[in-house]
Structure 1
């Protein structure tokens, strides 16, 4: 891919993300014009503008809609780059960020808070903390099971991830089955399908800076990710310490995915389909795949969240249903394409 084409694509996606976020702020039970949105935004960052927005419009835009839409963009970008990194790690086109048990571990933590009142002393942060703790615990167990004689096998990693996901899912289901709190059960199911309804400015900082850190770390190691696609033998001949690099990828992806799941619940298919779509457009060079995946993931989830808010208004549909409805057919179509194979950019 040429540098000019890459620059144009980045510019188009950035413009698309900006337009998508503006449109997403406009949509809702209270209609708001773009001029009011940008007026409120400029006034909040200290730029001199003529104040025409009402107090209610200020609150709706700044306190309710904008944090949610920014979190959607962060979560979409984070899941997309995590999926791209995991697919390179295991050289498997159907791998996603949840393959290490992150989602099922987070679900156990969230269920314990909602149904059993665990970590109640943390107040509004209890759910996020417990979900993150459960996600990291699952990854640690998977990693320890996959490590034999000081080495980490990709096959053992995948099998351990499947096994631990089943165990943690069984724990979650047991708590749901034995609970008599109908409202709590519904809240758990809603969380497990993904929701950005709880987004606030105070909850955006950690996901944003974690995403930024992991994105930069992965981008700095794009050559190693490219080498992983070529096979273990060639990667070793290029001087890459495979075991150490695998541990690095597992750690940073698990950290990012755990933080994201703690903020938004489990949102499927983003980390699975976006990297595929990107490779079809730009090829398999991770120097291009990572930034394009981040932007496409952000745009995709902003629109998915918008549809989730509008589909059954005034109720809200879990965003995971929207991503599954979009992602499932796309993935089936991709599998039916005879020319497509992992990493060839076709």
Structure 2
């Protein structure tokens, strides 16, 4: 039954991807493309723009949703994800430093810079959590948001002094409109890390139960923590380098799946990846439709949805506590 449901979910995701291919300013007839009668311009639009964009959306959505799940497991908090832990702001600072050091640096170099800064920022966030008393679970994301605000302020100050505010704004919002063939392939590395997270799913599930418990079961807690942080930082960096910041995705999808299916990562990670990819596709199509022929960045659409869902989770928790 579970396999059948996964197959149906993949079919639904494929239908969304197909719809994304034929949605945009340039009109492309699905029948003409499928029958092979489309003109050269239409085929160029499909293969150089629409296909790379659709693949990038799905890879980014799946990777960020899984990264959010890992962060929640490692921090043992349902309100944590890359955009509420200072990770994306740290990756943005790394991108800015890469542009300052070498403006012509290849994409892989920028991603490595962003990954290193994202890893450092996430490690700093977890170190702060260990050193301050947290009387409420809601305090954890608030600490992350404040840390992210400080890091972003540093980035803005540097960018302002060096007249690079436009460069900073370029990767501040998740926008896939500029994704073309040859400019998104770094996301496949994020996909490989997502698969690695699934392979180590049982270990991450044990790590989420706490250091003492997992160590007693023979798990090297620090090693799995480091591995999880590397996955989160590199996936986040690959998305920031390609399209910019996509907020709250790692908050929405893991919580919805957890409500429906529990917390076993071996069981839930495929669903989290599929729903993450589908949600990003839907938000991107909404952004292309609402004010057509102009576009709303997918990061802006998810920011609205994610903020509302964040408030819902907080109010839901308070209602249960009462």
- The answer to whether the superposition gives a TM-score over 0.5 is yes
Q: Deviations over 1:307-337 (max 9, x none)?
A: 2223333332222110011122223223333
Corresponding residue number in structure 1 for 2:31: 35
- Residue of 136, 161, 174 corresponding to 1:194: 174
Determine if contact 2:93/2:155 at 8 Å carries over to the other structure: yes
Corresponding residue number in structure 1 for 2:135: none
Structure 2 unmatched ranges of 5 or more: 133-139
Determine if contact 1:85/1:249 at 8 Å carries over to the other structure: yes
Corresponding residue number in structure 2 for 1:42: none
Distance 2:232 2:254 in 1: 15
Determine if contact 1:310/1:316 at 8 Å carries over to the other structure: yes
- Residue of 155, 158, 166 corresponding to 1:172: 155
Match runs of 1:1-346 below 5 Å: 4=1, 6-37=2-33, 39=34, 50-98=35-83, 101-111=86-96, 119-122=102-105, 125=106, 129-130=109-110, 132-140=112-120, 143=123, 155=130, 165-178=148-161, 185-186=165-166, 188-212=168-192, 214-337=193-316
Distance 1:263 1:276 in 2: 26
Residue range with higher mean Cα deviation, 295-304 or 226-235: 226-235
Residue range with higher mean Cα deviation, 254-263 or 327-336: 327-336
Distance verdict in 2 for CA 1:69–1:29, change over 3 Å: same
Residue range with higher mean Cα deviation, 312-321 or 70-79: 312-321
Determine if contact 1:142/1:161 at 8 Å carries over to the other structure: no
Q: Which runs of 4+ in 1 moved over 6 A?
A: 144-147, 157-163
1:31 offset after TM fit, Å? 2.9
Structure 1 unmatched ranges of 5 or more: 40-49, 148-152, 342-346
Q: CA RMSD in A?
A: 3.0
Q: Deviations over 1:125-183 (max 9, x none)?
A: 46x74365134234236537967xxxxx8625979966763443122221454466xxx
Determine if contact 2:94/2:117 at 8 Å carries over to the other structure: no
Count of residue correspondences: 312
Corresponding residue number in structure 1 for 2:136: none
SS of the residue corresponding to residue 10 of structure 1 reads helix
TM-score by length of 1: 0.79
Corresponding residue number in structure 2 for 1:46: none
Distance 1:290 1:30 in 2: 36
Distance 1:220 1:156 in 2: 32
Determine if contact 1:267/1:323 at 8 Å carries over to the other structure: yes
